[in-house]
């Protein structure tokens, strides 16, 4: 890999010092470094140079994208839009103000050829801050479309860090985030209007992980069950002895009652392995979900048979576990147990005593310590 970061003037063939200073030898061949390209990374095979990323800056010309996705040039803090390209590949750009007669001409790679006319007196150069803000906005919109799974916050912070913009407000960030969502909305399917439309939309989508594995493993519109995982996660699931199951209702997708997750524990970390969208909280639905996960593992030649299961105290889940794995060792979740006790204290009207350091309050607090005692005591 060759890394070029130096921008140089045109080489003088008669001056050998220029070649020594402004060129690089690759595989025995002499390559001059162009004035108009700052090459961040170049990969080469034999004598063919393939540029992976190129930042274009020629004679103080900057290339940006308009809100409509069109290429614009910034020259001396004035915006220029494309007018036409001649047969000899010379492109004319006119000032974005319709009544202004200023024009610039460029050739390949936006190399400035000449400047014609002058800017009208009724409009001045654009504030540099506005230009930097538009550059950030354009870059964020482009990367939001290139990677729809990356959080807008992460993209925005990265672009601001790479920008020369020193002042940007919260309102500017909110506006950029809104524009990113609008750009993604144009390439993504329309929001579903019913649970059936969810199944239909997912059926037409090829959902893959970053490693290229299928991620949507079950799309059953008869039971309204969706199972998301991958082969790597299922192998991990079959290897662990203890699994942790829980459902969340607050962050479930629209038209579904809950998102049910199954975690594994390894090397001191709880790892989410399977994500299920369920339409209800019935025992039959939980049984169907667990059986389908077992079938997916069977199809891979693996056996999904954990030794221990930790879950909350929902009767439907417990009944489903004992139906699929009779005699399974199920351990209640400490968090859900204390949560249930606290709700019971509230329902009995003892919350005031619980918060005060009276005898009743201290007794109620000590009750939560029972969880840490040996069951035989």
Q: Report pLDDT digits (tens) over 73-103.
A: 888 888 899 898 988 889 999 998 888 989 9
Quickly state the pLDDT bin for 21 (edges 50, 70, 90).
very low
Q: Which residues contact 323 (CB under 8 A, 6 or more apart)?
A: 283, 287
Q: Interhelix angle for 170-187 vs 152-162, to 10°?
A: 120
Cα–Cα distance for residue pair 338/371, rounded to 1 Å = 9
**β strands within 96-241, DSSP E:** 103-107, 111-116, 216-220, 225-228
Which segment of 123-132, 147-156, 221-230, 269-278 scores lowest on mean pLDDT?
Answer: 123-132
Annotate 324-360 with three-state secondary structure.
HCCCCEEEECHHHHHHHHHHHHHHCCCHHHHHCCCHH
Q: Residue 31 pLDDT > 70, yes or no?
A: no
pTM of the model: 0.59
Q: Is 13 exposed, middle or buried (0-12, 13-18, 19+ CB in 10 A)?
A: exposed
Q: Which residues contact 249 (CB under 8 A, 6 or more apart)?
A: 257, 258
Residue 156 main-chain phi, psi, to 5 deg: -60, -45
CA 180 to chain CA centroid, Å, is 12
Phi and psi based region of residue 255 (left: phi greater than 0; alpha: psi -120 to 50; beta: remaining): left
Q: Residue 261 pLDDT > 90, yes or no?
A: yes
Tokens encoding 272: 């989410």
- How much is the pLDDT for 219? 97
> Do 280 and 257 meet the contact criterion of CB atoms below 8 Å apart?
yes
CA 195 to chain CA centroid, Å, is 25
Q: Report pLDDT digits (tens) over 159-183.
A: 888 877 777 788 888 989 998 998 8
Q: Where are the domains of the chain?
A: 16-56, 61-116, 128-187, 195-332, 336-372
Cα–Cα distance for residue pair 373/366, rounded to 1 Å = 12
Quickly state the pLDDT bin for 205 (edges 50, 70, 90).
confident
Q: Which residues contact 189 (CB under 8 A, 6 or more apart)?
A: 201, 204, 205
- 192 C-beta neighbours (distance < 10 Å), count: 16
Of 95, 89, 85, the closest CA to residue 116 belongs to 95
CATH 1.10.3210 holds for 195-332: no
Q: Residue 48 pLDDT > 60, yes or no?
A: no
Compute and round to an integer the Cα radius of gyration of the chain.
31
What DSSP character marks residue 221? T
């Amino acid at each position: 890999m060759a890394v070029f970061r130096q921008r140089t003037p045109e080489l003088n063939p008669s001056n050998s010092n220029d070649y020594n200073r402004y060129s690089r030898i690759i595989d025995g061949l002499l390559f001059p470094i162009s004035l108009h390209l700052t090459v961040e990374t170049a990969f080469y095979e034999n004598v063919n140079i393939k540029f992976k990323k190129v930042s274009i800056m020629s004679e103080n010309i900057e290339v940006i994208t308009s809100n409509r996705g069109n290429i614009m040039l910034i020259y001396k803090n004035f915006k220029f839009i494309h007018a036409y390209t001649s047969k000899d590949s010379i492109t004319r750009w006119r000032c974005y103000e319709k009544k202004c007669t200023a024009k610039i001409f460029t050739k390949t790679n936006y190399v400035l050829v000449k400047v014609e006319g002058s800017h009208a007196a009724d409009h001045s150069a654009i504030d540099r801050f506005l230009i930097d803000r538009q550059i950030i906005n354009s870059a964020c919109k482009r990367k939001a479309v290139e990677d729809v799974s990356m959080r807008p916050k992460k993209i925005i912070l990265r672009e601001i860090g790479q920008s020369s913009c020193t002042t940007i407000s919260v309102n500017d960030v909110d506006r950029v985030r809104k524009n990113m969502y609008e750009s993604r909305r144009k390439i993504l399917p329309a929001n579903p209007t019913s649970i059936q439309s969810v199944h239909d939309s997912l059926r037409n989508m090829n959902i893959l992980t970053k490693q290229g594995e299928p991620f949507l493993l079950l799309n059953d519109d008869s039971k309204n069950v969706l199972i998301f995982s991958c082969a790597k996660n299922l192998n991990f699931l079959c290897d662990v002895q203890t699994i942790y199951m829980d459902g969340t209702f607050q962050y479930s997708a629209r038209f579904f009652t809950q998102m049910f997750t199954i975690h594994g524990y390894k090397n001191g970390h709880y790892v989410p392995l399977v994500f299920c969208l369920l339409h209800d909280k019935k025992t039959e639905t939980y049984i169907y979900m667990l059986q389908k996960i077992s079938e997916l593992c069977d199809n891979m030649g693996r056996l999904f048979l954990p030794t221990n299961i930790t879950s909350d105290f929902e009767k439907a889940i417990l009944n489903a576990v004992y139906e699929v794995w009779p005699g399974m060792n199920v351990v209640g979740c400490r968090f859900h147990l204390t949560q249930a006790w606290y709700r019971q204290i509230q329902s009995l009207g003892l919350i005031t005593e619980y918060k005060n350091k009276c005898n009743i309050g201290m007794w109620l607090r000590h009750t939560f310590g029972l969880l840490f005692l040996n069951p035989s005591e």
